[in-house]
A and B are shown apart, each in its own frame.
Chain A
Amino acid sequence: MTKDTGSAVFFILLAAGGLWMALSFNTMSAVFPILVLSLLLLFSIIYFFISIMKGRESTETASAIFSKEAVITGLCLLGYVLFIWVIGFLAASLLFLGGMTWYLQGGFVSGKKRVRNAAGSSIIVTVVFFFLFRYVFLVQLPTGIFTS
Chain B
Amino acid sequence: MREIRKVVVLGANGTMGAGSAEVFAAGGCEVMLLARDAAKAQAGLESAQGMAKSATIGSLMKVGSYDADLEKSVAEADLIFEALAEDLAIKKEFFGRVTKVRQPDSIVATVSSGLSITDMAAVGDASFAKHFLGIHLFNPPNVIVGTEVIPHAGTDPKLVEPIVDMLEKRFGRVVTVCRDLPAFAGNRVGFKVLNEVAQLAEEHGVAFMDYVVGPYTGRAMPPLSTVDLVGLDVHKAIVDNVYENTKDEAHDKFALPAYVNKLIAAGHLGNKTAAKGGFYRRAKEDGKNVRYVLDPKSGEYTRETPVAPVPFIEETCKLHRVGRYREAMKIFVEAKGREADLARKVIFGYVSYALNRVGDGEVVREPRDVDRIMGFGFNWAPPTVLADVIGIKETIAQIEKCGLEVPAVLAKAPAGQPLFREANVNIGRFFSA
The answer to whether A and B assemble together is no
